[in-house]
Structure 1
């Protein structure tokens, strides 16, 4: 018997089957094989058709069942992970009224800024734990102001994962974790943030019914069976945004647990019991998957735009054939790159730098002594230093690191990158070979609340290796201080 998990991204859908008895991954598929289309009618806009997500979900189910010879009756539960902060608006028949405004769409930035100024930083930080910023609530306000004919027809708003669950079940509901990622949740009163809805003039009836993150949320109905080919009655047991779900996939649930990802952009996601919004303009705070008022679990999310995208740019523009070749060149250069320093902030405004856009900078390059190995090492170190810099911000907001876990993705495959981070934060980094879709599938089994057994499933099936901090920290500290000096020169002169 199996659970099925979905990871709805902005570029593709991944679906996974796991064996219920062992938690072992049976297989993972991706749909479409190329990237999903994205509509950008204006600079900074990004939209997708929710119906396209559903089409690819159904195709992925068909692919999984055929490839692994699994029948619909063998799938006993569904878990859903999804791209965060998106907005789906539907009418009374459940039909989308417009394309989804997805996470990377920036049209509502000014709306959020104005709300933060007018509501006040103290109230925003203590109740929302965030600035309203460019999140789902602000996007809904944009629709109200700019597309009143759409807003007036709206029956409910949904997050992307809510829409997928609806297509399976014909039931519209959401979770506290989901509402918090849209900045619809009042943590101080542990209820929907009515004061923000009132400020934006948003009808409270648009908020879906709230269900538990783990539990019987709904079941596949006859129409859902016909379209998806999963059996009617199959329960949906779990739903969460991609970053909380990535943390879950790495067995990150408790205060002091930290999850890191090092893809195109980088993310540090730290769990705490503190409702502090001290760094609410630089760090996002969401209800983690196991949040309860009686046992608060907050995920503090720090994003680094300029991470793997910089290393990929070097791969495309240096005369090298692979990341492995770049890593080998970098290994021939000492810690600190003989003074060469790279600031990896060339992928737009960095929230942790107070939304400054400073670009990528390569400094201290000596044309007589330095070669491309120095540039490769400086790039890896610069990205690692940006992670450490971000973790320093998290620590100033009350985060203690007890364990750090990361996926076996591009940056964490690099010894230089992982060793630099581990040494500077003085913390082991455990590497796991898992995906969001596998995590979502396993999470379907957590409706019974057995988190201890879940952790053992992750450890037994996914652990790859552990990077240990080096005892000799001096060269790493010196290089990091040099990097921070270069960064501060820019930050203080703009």
Structure 2
């Protein structure tokens, strides 16, 4: 019988951290998990911030909870790693302490910095043509979004000069936690690429002095670049005491969510397409070269596998839209129902989850939501159009429209946006006929079926789809420890658990509603700007 190894991986999301204990043997098996949330602060000026210490505290408490619940001795843990949110900005001093709150990937306060540095002169897709061409040649992408981290960096430089003087290194989310663990300032290749300062050209991989000069970035602020499977170092004595782990336990580089969730979904071969529906959402296809669609803000990003890229289209508020519906539209109705069936005394009930309840209720509403169409742009949009002023719309409400139609229209709106991604990606690459769906959205069979119907694709899910990123991080540790040869093995270990075929009876209604959905942005672009432009 093959020997097994225990590892811990941390899925560091937008609103919480999930710590997972895995056993690696013939398969990757989830033994136990623990989760803890943390706050996110939305500012009036478009800023979105988090406290890095809350990430660390949540990591420590969930690690201790894992060990307590499983009875595992810390000496049995062979390594730890991360899957984390990306394109944040954590500026730290020489001791590794933050000089200010972390700026989230959703932060969009740096509009003036973007306009001043990039949106001037002769432009293509809102970017200066000369800077755009140079950036595409060197980095494979261009910092054309106000949410790209370089503009956050420039905003701090321009608006918080005293704090900026204290900056020693520019880190991302997991890199801050790695620094807390090991005392080392590093960044994995995928996170380095996400800064859009990374030279992807063969033989020149690394920070680009030329691009840093273009954007006015001090290259000394950038940390050492490592591979996702590299051992950064061992856990320090101080960190080990706080975590409850053994000093010296190997810490691996890990990866960002955009890199590892696809690995955990089993979408690791060329042409494999997966969809992630969590707080944010995306569609990604594995390709073998760098490519970019500047007009639609889609780019092939460096992934966790050498020589492979993820052609990536992002929606920043996917599951967040359902969260908004739960909190502001359906909560009273749901609470009445829960009291009626006395679910409080029956925690094992299928209705204990409010999201499960919503899914079951909207399944009673016919496809098309009675003609109501929702746009899922609650915090602006990045792809296939870039507009921080875009917002959500409930379109075509009538006297017959009820809450359940509105709720279903939100799910359909997210799925329409995914279809838009597919349609746009198909102009450059061939996407797969069978799509793996992971993230919390994959827990709902109703959502899976709506996505199949809206896109016309076969949708497959996996066991514990909400843990796909943690599984991907576990696969990295397995490679780093020499347990498996490379990440291509992951496909054999992650098999589909459910399959959803498109219902062709719903095709005509979804085709019609989708065409209207796409027109809503163009029809309301000026109105969005009038209402929301700062």
Shorter-chain TM-score tier:
0.7 to 0.9
SS of 1:214's partner is: coil
Q: How does 1:11-30 map to 2 (within 5 A)?
A: 11-21=15-25, 22-30=27-35
Match of 2:291 among 276, 296, 300: 276
2: CA distance between counterparts of 1:489 and 1:86? 30
Change (3 A) 1:109 1:99: same
Unaligned regions of 5+ residues in structure 2, if any?
A: 119-126, 338-353, 527-534
2:386 corresponding residue in structure 1 = 354
* 1:240 aligned partner: 255
The answer to whether the 8 Å contact 1:240/1:289 transfers is yes
Alpha-carbon contact 2:268-2:488 (below 8 Å) kept = no
Give the Å deviation of 1:445.
0.8
Paired residues in the alignment total 479
Give the distance between the partners of 2:272 and 2:390, measured in 1 at CA.
Answer: 31
Which position in structure 2 is the counterpart of 1:387? 418
Distance in 1 (CA, whole Å) between partners of 2:366 and 2:58 is 47
| Conservation of the 8 A alpha-carbon contact between 1:112 and 1:131 | no
Say which of 309, 313, 333 aligns to 1:302.
313
2:498 to 462, 465, 478: 465
2:531: which partner in 1? none
Given the two structures, how large is their TM-score scaled by the length of structure 2? 0.81
Residue 428 (1) aligns with residue 441 (2): no
Q: Whose RCO is larger (CA < 8 A, sep 6+)?
A: 1
Task: Give the match for residue 190 of structure 2.
Answer: 177
Once the two structures are TM-superposed, the CA of residue 489 in structure 1 deviates from its matched residue by: 5.5
Shift of 1:9: 2.4
Q: Given the superposition, is the C-alpha separation of residues 268 and 425 from structure 1 closer, same or farther in structure 2, using an over 3 Å criterion?
A: same
Q: Is 1:418 matched up with 2:448? A: yes
The structural deviation recorded for 1:312 is 4.2
Question: Which of 367, 372, 395 is matched with 1:335 structurally?
Answer: 367
> Which residue does 1:482 correspond to in 2?
513
Give a deviation string over 1:145-196, Cα, whole Å, max 9, x none.
2233333332222112112112211222112111111212122453323222
Structure 1: 5+ residue runs without aligned partners? none
Which of 273, 284, 297 is the aligned partner of 1:258? 273
Q: 1:411 to 1:212 in 2, by over 3 A?
A: closer
For 2:170 and 2:301, locate their aligned partners in 1 and report how far apart those are by CA, in whole Å.
19
SS of equivalent to 1:396: coil
Q: What do the CA deviations read for 1:62-105 (whole angstroms, capped 9, x no partner)?
A: 11111110111100011112221122222233333222222222
Aligned to 2:165: 152
Q: Which residue does the alignment assign to 2:302?
A: 287
Query: What is the TM-score when the length of structure 1 is the normalising length?
Result: 0.87
Listed one character per residue, the Cα deviations across residues 17-45 of structure 1 (whole Å, up to 9, x for unaligned) are 001224211111113xxx42344565322
**Aligned-pair Cα RMSD in Å:** 2.8
Distance 2:430 2:388 in 1: 24
Query: 2:220 aligns to what SS in structure 1?
Result: helix
Closer, same or farther: CA 92–160 of 1 in aligned 2, 3 Å? same
Question: Aligned partners of 1:351 and 1:377: how far apart in 2?
Answer: 23
Residue by residue over 1:178-216, the C-alpha shift from the partner in whole angstroms, topping out at 9 and shown as x without a partner, is 111121212245332322211233222222111111122
How many angstroms does 1:488 deviate by? 1.6
Native 8 Å contact 1:343 1:361 kept in 2: yes
Query: Distance in 1 between the 2:394 and 2:92 partners?
Result: 48
User: 1:130 maps to which residue?
Assistant: 141
Structure-2 separation of matches of 1:50 and 1:223: 17
Distance 2:38 2:376 in 1: 26
Moved more, 428-437 or 127-136: 127-136
Secondary structure of 1:268's counterpart equals strand
The equivalent position to 1:48 in structure 2, one of 27, 47, 50, is 50
Q: Is the 8 A contact 1:88 1:158 kept in 2?
A: yes
Distance 1:41 1:331 in 2: 36
The Cα shift of 1:476 comes to 1.2
Inter-CA distance 108–130: structure 2 relative to 1 (3 Å threshold): farther
Q: Does the aligned pair in 2 maintain the 1:308–1:410 contact within 8 Å? A: yes
Query: Alpha carbons of 1:146 and 1:332: their partners in 2 closer, same or farther (altered >3 Å)?
Result: closer
C-alpha separation in 1, matches of 2:478 and 2:382: 35
- For residue 375 of structure 1, report the CA deviation from its aligned partner: 4.0
Aligned equivalents of 1:424, 1:370: Cα separation in 2: 21
Instruction: Compute the displacement of 1:333 (Å).
Output: 4.2
The separation in 1 between residues aligned to 2:55 and 2:313, in whole angstroms, is 27
Q: Deviations over 1:450-483 (max 9, x none)?
A: 3243333322xxx43111234x36x414432333
Contact kept in structure 2, 1:424 and 1:477, CA below 8 Å: no
Alignment of 1:441 onto 2:474: yes
